[in-house]
Structure 1
Amino acid sequence: MNEHWTIGDLAKASGVTIRTLYYYDEIGLVSASDRTASGHRRYTGDDVRRLYRVRALTQLGLSLDEVGRVLARGAEDLAALRDLLQAQLADLEVRARQLAEVRARVRGLVDQLAGETMPAPARFLSTLELTGQLYGQLSAEQRDALAERRAELGADTVDALRSEWVEVVRELKRHVVTGTPPADPAVRELAARWERVTGAFRTGRPHVDEQIGATSGVAWQEHGTRIDEYLSDRVDWLEPGDMVAIVDLVRQARS
Structure 2
Amino acid sequence: MSEDARRWTIGELAKASGVTVRTLYHYDEIGLVKPGERTASGHRRYTEADLRRLYRVRALRGLGLSLDEIAAVLSGPEDDLGTLRNLLGAQLAEIEIQSARLGQLKQQISGLMWLMDKSVMPDAEQFMAALEMISVYETYFAQELRDHLAKRRVELGDERLTGLRAEWMGLVRETRELLLAGTPVEDPRVQEISARWEAMSAALQPGDEQVKQQLTAAGMALWRDNSAGLSEEISRQVDWLEAGDLPAVIDYLQRARNARESGE
TM range (shorter): 0.5 to 0.7
In 1, Cα distance between the equivalents of 2:141 and 2:99? 18
Q: Find 1:32's aligned residue among 64, 81, 92.
A: 64
Q: Please state if 1:136 is matched with 2:139.
A: yes
- Residue type at the aligned position of 2:141: L
- Residue type at the aligned position of 1:32: G
Q: 1:176 to 1:154 in 2, by over 3 A?
A: same
Aligned residue in 2 for 1:237:
240
Q: Please state if 1:166 is matched with 2:169.
A: yes
- Residue type at the aligned position of 1:153: L
Q: Please state if 1:228 is matched with 2:260.
A: no
Q: Which string of whole-angstrom CA distances, capped at 9 and with x for unpartnered residues, describes residues 99-151 of structure 1?
A: xxxxxxxxxxxxxxxxxxxxxxxxxxxxxx9xx93763312221222222222
In 2, Cα distance between the equivalents of 1:169 and 1:220? 16
User: TM-score scaled to structure 1, two decimals?
Assistant: 0.53
Q: Find 1:175's aligned residue among 172, 175, 178.
A: 178
Aligned residue in 2 for 1:211:
214
Aligned residue in 1 for 2:122:
none
Q: Which string of whole-angstrom CA distances, capped at 9 and with x for unpartnered residues, describes residues 141-164 of structure 1?
A: 212222222222232222222211
In 2, Cα distance between the equivalents of 1:149 and 1:167? 22
Q: Please state if 1:195 is matched with 2:195.
A: no
Q: 1:215 to 1:51 in 2, by over 3 A?
A: closer
Q: Which string of whole-angstrom CA distances, capped at 9 and with x for unpartnered residues, describes residues 217-250 of structure 1?
A: 0010000111111111111110120001100100
Q: Please state if 1:57 is matched with 2:60.
A: no
The gaps in structure 1 that reach 5 residues or longer are: 5-29, 67-93, 99-128
1:62 is displaced (CA, Å) by 4.2
1:215 is displaced (CA, Å) by 0.4
User: Is the partner of 1:239 in helix, strand or coil?
Assistant: coil
Q: Show the 5 A alignment for 1:67-86.
A: none
In 2, Cα distance between the equivalents of 1:51 and 1:151? 9
The gaps in structure 2 that reach 5 residues or longer are: 1-22, 28-61, 111-127, 259-264
Q: Which string of whole-angstrom CA distances, capped at 9 and with x for unpartnered residues, describes residues 148-189 of structure 1?
A: 222222322222222111111110111122121111110111
Q: Percent identity?
A: 31
Q: 1:53 to 1:221 in 2, by over 3 A?
A: closer
- Contact 1:182–1:252 (8 Å) recurs in 2: yes
In 2, Cα distance between the equivalents of 1:254 and 1:181? 12
User: TM-score scaled to structure 2, two decimals?
Assistant: 0.51
Aligned residue in 1 for 2:253:
250
Q: Show the 5 A alignment for 1:83-162.
A: 133=136, 136-162=139-165
User: Whose Rg is larger?
Assistant: 2
Aligned residue in 2 for 1:115:
none
In 2, Cα distance between the equivalents of 1:52 and 1:158? 18
Q: Runs in 1 of length 4+ with deviation above 3 angstroms?
A: 1-4, 30-43, 50-56
- Residue type at the aligned position of 1:243: L
In 2, Cα distance between the equivalents of 1:149 and 1:134? 17
Q: Which string of whole-angstrom CA distances, capped at 9 and with x for unpartnered residues, describes residues 46-83 of structure 1?
A: x9xx89974763562549xx9xxxxxxxxxxxxxxxxx
